[in-house]
Structure 1
């Protein structure tokens, strides 16, 4: 291949090559357009001289194609024959952060916080799944005119490097400060957070969970009014210490900034009991109610918990089981529970509960006993309900309760991780239900057909978005073929009898 630039304007299969934007010893990267439907794409072409690398090239594309996240670019097509080997990916709308900085454009601190929050959500998903990625930089993050954030698909075959997340966080902390508009409210908060992402004053690198928690708090403080029950400390200059995290997660000494100060009050209770009373259940009267698949249906009256079951509440259940003689500890098991399932401890329960009791961190997230319990499978939830004399809601009940006095479910903004009674007002329904669009996704008692695949098999319904999977919000549903599923963003709430 002589001068690849000379091929601009020619066709490769159904794709018109518009401009060469990158070249490596192995590949050419083109801005292209799918001619038949006039769809703009990014086309990665394996050079003929590198056809011996075809299997590795296609392996990387397969991993990219398997990534399913609304913020991450999609794979459209891969073509491999004797003459050509190439793949096309979604051309992300908007402008990259690097291009904005090169043009000396800056953004409001609230916008930067929102960008980093969304990036951290995508990166936590990749990290949790163990997906290997190329390094992430500002040239891989795109922002359009409507404020929508998208990220280039950097997935690749192979084992995930152990330091990938830390390296990416450091890179963004080092490169993004010019993006923060000086003189705007919250600028000092964002600049300080970016310095922490670089590892300054911490003695360690941050996690994506910490980045998500801090940016969410900063964003809420800059966009939303402070809740009446929260008394935020005045803004003050950060006090020099070896590590500021004990200040944030423990005692609010001379204050850092408003957003982080509120976070200290929110997560710094030590987890020793409830910092506030848990919200009461919501009563749903019997009669006609909207259904998740459209139309209305008649439901009997029920009472739905306003919040997901907490770590502290689940710990009481496990303590009750432990107090029983060994031969009676299966007394609350569902009849369908497999014989080889012998207990109801959530995955990583010891670390989770220890962090909650101490007010510490678990998997990069601040914990108290009022945070939702996660890593539970369906049989764990069923046993808890039998012990508590309650039950899981059906998907119809969950949806009907969520819709009480709420004409548009998409108005709910997915909440992040945190204590169940501290869910922001934007993810609280008018009737008083907390975290229906975010917080954690929830098991239901429904075994149903996915309406998008009416000829498919039934699945166990998980409902609601989560801090790791905010797409879809309160309208999100999943159909699981295995009740053994456990996830760090999956919990449950109950119908009280």
Structure 2
């Protein structure tokens, strides 16, 4: 049977009010899942309204580890929506087939599920409890979950149920007697313990699974022994020593994990900083005293943060090289293999804990730095936006009519920290926190005979005399870089613009 663009192939699930179909979207020849209201409910306005509210909630979810919703349709008596058909095996199928997974693979799966749930928590998305047949694991242990978002307020008790279910399922899949098995089992056991006064959080699960994964996939340096061989005494003492040492190590692992939960300091929370400011079309002044006619656009109210950039990298990690190329500039050097900023792993770890990095306190709300132009371009493309030209950047600065001398450069810190580095129309950080990449090459009016160069706009915390009108041309003749767009600095970041307001 075909409804609209969808050919229904078989019923996968039949509930009290809905049916789930395995289907194919004819126009693009791709597999999909169709969820439809049963006929007896399609004319009940209250049920239809609730059904569509849940669909809208699902459609707002945008995360690489959560399945997408394509469209919702209500035509006559029909009321249904189409969603992504996830690939791979479900946890339920893996358990039924008796599979066993190494601790590092369990940790990898758990980290991805944690990232997805942290996204839902951050955006206060209500969802139904996740079950083991709704978690899909494909090649490379890429893990994605069915979109279970619903309308209404988030019920945090559901999150506790999910942790218990996932912990139990992954315990069945955990391969025993492997390096890391004890620590991984301890973590999963904490997840299944419903008697804890303070339940383990998704952030704790993410950090602990990430630590397990990192340690098991990065070989340790061998310890130097005073002698190449050690002679064991031929009596029961050595056996007891091994036994007690094993018990001690296991106990120590549990104590360390427990101390992380009991004594860990409050970590700074990542905030949703997706505000944008509309700049109307008009004839705007330029840095050099001219005028420039511009169409309307929306500019980020803040510089792109470490937390936002981490989400971008998580998405890129799940794409094939050919898929990644869709977001990359055609001139990006073939030698460039990653969009990770300088010292990214240490920067992100410090930002998640609110600790120091390179002598400065960082949080997920601080601007991402150490990114080159290619990184900033790819981020903007992936978000459906673009880098601003210097004319657009200056138009945003001048549009608010704020006297430029009143905009004071902000020091290093969160992107929305300073009320002095703020325009009247609520654009932060034009005089500081970090200098920002722009999209197009431009002539330096001080050297009109030189070719066009890359331009950086705005001030920087490392340059206390800089202002909101500061500009910097990256002259290739005075640089060690073949292409100035390869430059990475600890005081250089970016923001994006678009023709419409950014989606949540």
Task: Give the deviation of 1:18 after TM superposition.
Answer: 2.2
Task: Give the deviation of 1:132 after TM superposition.
Answer: 0.6
In structure 2, the residue matched to 1:206 is 200
Paired with 1:396 and 1:208, the residues of 2 have a C-alpha distance of: 44
SS in 2 for 1:127: helix
Q: Which runs of structure 2 are paired with 1:90-489 in the superposition (5 Å)?
A: 90-199=84-193, 203-226=197-220, 236-239=249-252, 244-246=257-259, 293-295=329-331, 379=428, 382-384=431-433, 388-389=462-463, 444-445=493-494, 456=499
Task: Give the deviation of 1:315 after TM superposition.
Answer: 6.8
In structure 2, the residue matched to 1:25 is 16
Task: Give the deviation of 1:228 after TM superposition.
Answer: 9.1
Name stretches of at least 5 consecutive residues in structure 2 with no aligned partner. 224-244, 267-326, 334-340, 363-396, 419-426, 434-458, 475-479
Superposition RMSD on alpha carbons, in Å?
4.9
Is 1:44 the equivalent of 2:35? yes
Task: Give the deviation of 1:205 after TM superposition.
Answer: 0.8
Paired with 1:125 and 1:50, the residues of 2 have a C-alpha distance of: 32
SS in 1 for 2:207: helix
Is 1:74 the equivalent of 2:123? no
TM-score of the aligned structures, taking structure 2 as reference length: 0.53
SS in 1 for 2:24: strand
Task: Provide Cα deviations, 1:270-311, integer angstroms capped at 9, x if missing partner.
Answer: xxxxxxxxxxxxxxxxxxxxx9734379xxxxxx98676976
Give the number of aligned pairs: 324
Task: Give the deviation of 1:209 after TM superposition.
Answer: 0.6
Paired with 1:388 and 1:394, the residues of 2 have a C-alpha distance of: 14
Task: Provide Cα deviations, 1:384-419, integer angstroms capped at 9, x if missing partner.
Answer: 56664267999998xxxxx9899xxxxxxxxxxxxx
> Relative to 1, partners in 2 of residues 1:243 and 1:45: Cα closer, same or farther, differing over 3 Å?
same
> Relative to 1, partners in 2 of residues 1:296 and 1:114: Cα closer, same or farther, differing over 3 Å?
closer
Paired with 1:225 and 1:87, the residues of 2 have a C-alpha distance of: 47
SS in 1 for 2:249: coil
SS in 2 for 1:33: strand
Contact persistence 2:95–2:169 (CA under 8 A): no
Task: Give the deviation of 1:84 after TM superposition.
Answer: 1.1
In structure 2, the residue matched to 1:54 is 48
> Relative to 1, partners in 2 of residues 1:214 and 1:143: Cα closer, same or farther, differing over 3 Å?
same
Paired with 2:200 and 2:471, the residues of 1 have a C-alpha distance of: 39
TM-score of the aligned structures, taking structure 1 as reference length: 0.54
Task: Give the deviation of 1:219 after TM superposition.
Answer: 0.4
SS in 2 for 1:100: helix
Q: State the structure with more CA Rg.
A: 2
Paired with 2:413 and 2:156, the residues of 1 have a C-alpha distance of: 28
In structure 1, the residue matched to 2:389 is none
Contact persistence 2:186–2:254 (CA under 8 A): no
Paired with 2:144 and 2:482, the residues of 1 have a C-alpha distance of: 33
Task: Give the deviation of 1:342 after TM superposition.
Answer: 11
> Relative to 1, partners in 2 of residues 1:163 and 1:404: Cα closer, same or farther, differing over 3 Å?
farther
In structure 1, the residue matched to 2:445 is none
Paired with 1:187 and 1:149, the residues of 2 have a C-alpha distance of: 20
